[in-house]
A = this chain, B = another copy of it.
Amino acid sequence: MNIHAMWNDYPQVRSDLLEMLRVIDKNIKIREKQIEQNIKNLTQAGGKLLRPAYFLLASHIGPQHNKEQAIAIAAALEVLHMATLVHDDVIDDAPTRRGLETIQAKFGKNYAVYTGDYLFCVCFKILSRYSDDLAQIDLNTGSMERILLGELDQMGMRYNFNMGVKEYLRQISGKTAQLFALSCYLGAEVSQANNFYKHLAKKVGHNIGMAFQIMDDILDYTKNADLIGKPVLNDMKQGVYSLPLIYAMNQDPQAFLPYLKKKENMTDSDLLAVVNLIHKYKGVEEAQNLASKYTDKAIRLIQTLPEGSYRSQMLRVTLSLLKRET
């Protein structure tokens, strides 16, 4: 089992995540061994496993701790995330994921659609097998619904040249922050934390997720010049506009529109022109400011959780994740 080096400093989380990976591995069984292997490779490809990790940390907020149950729910959360990744790759026609060829690049979109569906099933299978309280599942389906609604929302907003910050935040709240919020909330829930701390945990997750997604969107613009391009170009061509662009465009829409209106016909030099405009209007800086606000909020909220070693670990993980070099 392969795991991201960021967990080397957190032996307990690391060992729980490794056990979680084994649970996932055990629950993926497909007659087509090539597909099975591809899913298993994706699991083992050393993703950061942030959602299950935050869940595991949050599962020490309250007084109870059932390790077997916690690891199963962590597995369900990661499999749910994987299912959305596989379908996102179908939508984005993505060639690689976590450094591996995507299922849809290797076997075609059709396999990828069913593989994502299969992973949704595996998520619910793991969840229903280990979770003894139906309320948790109810929350989960509601959250899952909101995640999908976030994706549909984003689809509907494609090529919306008037998209504002509010719409952007609504989208990433659905498609990213929701699952972070759910992970932290469920952690508090299974540890029998009281309602106050459960909702606090949910807010922690929400703010981490918001900061994480904004920073991810910023990274597209701050990579070395030769690394830029591909993903941004792709998103922009597909009409998905992220925060740095939205902030910059707010300053002077007419400067951007001639390029963006070309939609999927934007050339590499159109893209470069837009990137330059974004820097000119300080879109990246403004986005960074907003990300910092979410990060600071998350940090402040974590500090009001009950004291414990899990809390200092949660703080350290969050700081190293969100104060990362940009």
Measured CB to CB, the nearest residue on chain B to A84 is: B117
A111 at the interface (CB under 8 A from B): yes
Q: In the complex, which of the residues B30, B83, B128 contacts A152, with contact meaning CB atoms closer than 8 Å?
A: B30
Are A118 and B149 in contact, CB atoms less than 8 angstroms apart? yes
Flag the segment in A8-16, A63-71, A136-144, A201-209 that touches B. A136-144
Kindly provide the distance from the CB of A166 to the nearest chain B CB, expressed in whole angstroms: 14
Interface centre among A91, A111, A113 (most CB of B within 10 A): A113
Is A45's beta carbon under 8 Å from chain B?
A: no
Report the stretch among A49-57, A119-127, A225-233, A304-312 that lies at the interface.
A119-127
By a CB distance below 8 angstroms, the chain B residues around A129 are 138
B-contacting residues, A250-267, CB 8 Å: none
Assuming the contacts A141-B124, A144-B124, A145-B125, asked whether A152 and B116 have C-beta atoms less than 8 A apart, the reply is no
Report the minimal beta-carbon distance from A37 to chain B, rounded to whole angstroms. Answer: 13
Q: Give 1 or 0 for each of A30-42: 1 = CB within 8 Å of chain B CB.
A: 1110010000000
Assuming the contacts A31-B152, A134-B128, A156-B31, asked whether A116 and B117 have C-beta atoms less than 8 A apart, the reply is: yes
Is A177's CB within 8 Å of the partner chain B? Answer: no
Q: Are A125 and B110 in contact (CB under 8 A)?
A: no
B114, A151: Cβ atoms under 8 Å? yes
The answer on a CB contact under 8 Å between A118 and B145 is yes
Q: How many residues of A contact B (CB 8 A)?
A: 41
Interface residue SS majority, chain A: helix
Partner of A120 from the list B31, B117, B153 (CB cut-off 8 Å) is B117
* Most B CB within 10 A of own CB, among A30, A90, A117: A117
| Residue A297, interface by CB 8 Å | no
Name A126's closest neighbour in chain B (CB-CB).
B141
Residues in B neighbouring A111, C-beta threshold 8 A: 152, 155
| A87 within 8 A of partner (CB) | yes
**Is A115 located at the chain interface by the 8 A CB criterion?**
yes
Residue A22, interface by CB 8 Å: no
Whether A279 is near chain B, meaning CB under 8 Å from some CB there, is no
Select one of B35, B134, B148, B153 contacting A117, CB under 8 A: B148
A109 touches B (CB below 8 Å)? yes
Kindly list chain B residues whose C-beta atoms are within 8 Å of the C-beta of A31.
Answer: 149, 152-153, 156
Q: Could you list 19 further interchain pairs (A-B, Cβ under 8 angstroms) beyond the known A31-B156, A117-B148?
A: A30-B152, A35-B152, A87-B117, A90-B109, A90-B110, A91-B110, A91-B114, A114-B148, A114-B151, A118-B145, A118-B149, A118-B152, A121-B141, A121-B148, A124-B137, A125-B141, A128-B141, A132-B134, A134-B137
Residues of chain A whose beta carbon lies under 8 Å from any beta carbon of chain B: 30-32, 35, 83-84, 87, 90-91, 109-111, 113-118, 120-122, 124-125, 128-129, 131-132, 134, 137-138, 141-142, 144-145, 148-149, 151-153, 155-156
